[in-house]
Amino acid sequence: MAIVLGPNQYGKAENRLVTVSRNGSVHTIKDLTVSTSLRGDLADTHLTGDNAKVLATDTQKNTVYAFAKQAPVGEIEDFALRLGRHFVSSQEAITGARILIDEHGWERIDGHDHSFVRGSDEKRTTAVTIEGSQAWVVSGVRDLVVLKSTGSEFHGYPKDPYTTLKETNDRILATSVTARWRYVGTDVDWAKSFTEIRSIMLKTFADKHSLSLQQTLYAMGEAVLQARPEVAEVRLSMPNKHHFLVDLSPFGLENDNEVFYAADRPYGLIEGSVLRDDAPDAGLAWSTLPAF
Ligand SMILES: O=c1[nH]c(=O)c2[nH]c(=O)[nH]c2[nH]1
């Protein structure tokens, strides 16, 4: 029997980067969490502790901040591509890179020049993978919380000895959407694509009369693929944020779908991917990312 080193990568996780760009007195901020991860000829450090090929994670962190100064950060996809390509092209031993970026949103306060309010917990995300001269981009959104107060039913499921759930023709449907979409290439108007995909998903959630969260998930992915040729595949993770009708009968009160208990956990977790049947091969786009 021989023991061997398996797949490995290393980097600096969750660098918190905030930039201020100034146009006269009007400021614009970017608030990012950037994780870098490198792969390559890294057996020596694992097997003998020889670090000759290890670009320190501290150096990776510094590169993130220096790059933010040397050119405008721009769209997170472009910044991630720049960083990843730099690491792979500048270090002989490094053959691949994965750059993850989350962008935290700030809204301008009432047209104010330099004051902002954190709108919600929603994040725009990207995961860029570089391998040699190839690049893959998977972008997305996290913690996009939505609710509809009608237009959702759930019935027709199997009843076994453990089933207590009542069928319903009218319930609250709420979820916190994590969506990732894989781009066909890298020649994309990232900001426009993100804005339109987000808006398509929201519109579909709102418009689609839902017979299950699964049906809503598929409809959201399908609508994105129908409208956006630059996208090959959409993966969605949607926790069912249950809202249970409160039994008010002990108080002699009816509950006509008006008073709910918003349960925290457990929650149904509905996950799936929607893709074109002629989508180009995903390559390393999803490697080491969560399945959904
Ligand atoms: O939309 C739903 N899908 C399910 O699979 C499910 N299971 C459940 O208990 N409630 C729901 N709702």
32-83 pLDDT, tens digit each: 999 999 999 999 999 999 999 999 999 999 999 999 999 999 999 999 999 9
Output DSSP code: residue 168: B
Tell whether 224 and 165 lie within a shared domain.
yes
Query: Residue 231's pLDDT is what?
Result: 98
Tell whether 160 and 273 lie within a shared domain.
yes
The response to whether residue 268 sits with its C-beta less than 6 Å from ligand 1 reads yes
Domain boundary among 91, 107, 132: 132
Catalytic residue among 28, 45, 57, 59: 57
The response to whether residue 42 sits with its C-beta less than 6 Å from ligand 1 reads no
Cα separation of 82 and 137, whole Å?
12
Catalytic residue among 104, 123, 148, 242: 242
Per the domain annotation, does 286 fall within a domain? no
Q: How confident is the model at residue 110 (pLDDT cuts 50, 70, 90)?
A: very high
Per the domain annotation, does 289 fall within a domain? no
Cα separation of 140 and 194, whole Å?
8
Per the domain annotation, does 290 fall within a domain? no
Over the stretch 201-240, which tens digit does the pLDDT of each residue have? 999 999 999 999 999 999 999 999 999 999 999 999 999 9
Q: Which residues of 211-244 are buried (b: 16+ CB within 10 A; e: fewer)?
A: ebbeebbbbbbebbbeebebbbbbbbbbbbbbbe
Cα separation of 149 and 243, whole Å?
10
Sheet holding 116-131, edge to edge: 15-23, 26-40, 94-108, 116-131, 134-148, 173-183, 231-240, 268-275
Both tokens assigned to 59: 């150096």
Domain boundary among 132, 151, 181: 132
Tell me what the mean pLDDT of segment 154-179 comes to: 98
- Number of structural domains (the chain) is 2
pLDDT at 184 over 90: yes
Query: Residue 119's pLDDT is what?
Result: 85
The response to whether residue 145 sits with its C-beta less than 6 Å from ligand 1 reads no
Tell whether 160 and 263 lie within a shared domain.
yes
Rounded distance from Cα 162 to ligand 1 centre (Å): 15
Mean pLDDT of the chain: 97
Q: How confident is the model at residue 138 (pLDDT cuts 50, 70, 90)?
A: very high
Cα separation of 221 and 121, whole Å?
22
Per the domain annotation, does 29 fall within a domain? yes
Tell whether 219 and 175 lie within a shared domain.
yes
Domain boundary among 132, 152, 167: 132
Residue 265, amino acid = R
Catalytic residue among 12, 123, 148, 241: 12
Tell whether 126 and 44 lie within a shared domain.
yes
Per the domain annotation, does 92 fall within a domain? yes
Q: Which domain holds residue 261?
A: 140-281
Tell whether 147 and 274 lie within a shared domain.
yes
Both tokens assigned to 123: 């994040």
Q: How confident is the model at residue 87 (pLDDT cuts 50, 70, 90)?
A: very high
Tell whether 125 and 185 lie within a shared domain.
no
The response to whether residue 219 sits with its C-beta less than 6 Å from ligand 1 reads no
Tell whether 193 and 244 lie within a shared domain.
yes
Per the domain annotation, does 10 fall within a domain? yes
Cα separation of 4 and 42, whole Å?
13
Rounded distance from Cα 46 to ligand 1 centre (Å): 46
Query: Residue 19's pLDDT is what?
Result: 98
Tell whether 32 and 71 lie within a shared domain.
yes
User: Is 129 one of the catalytic residues?
Assistant: no
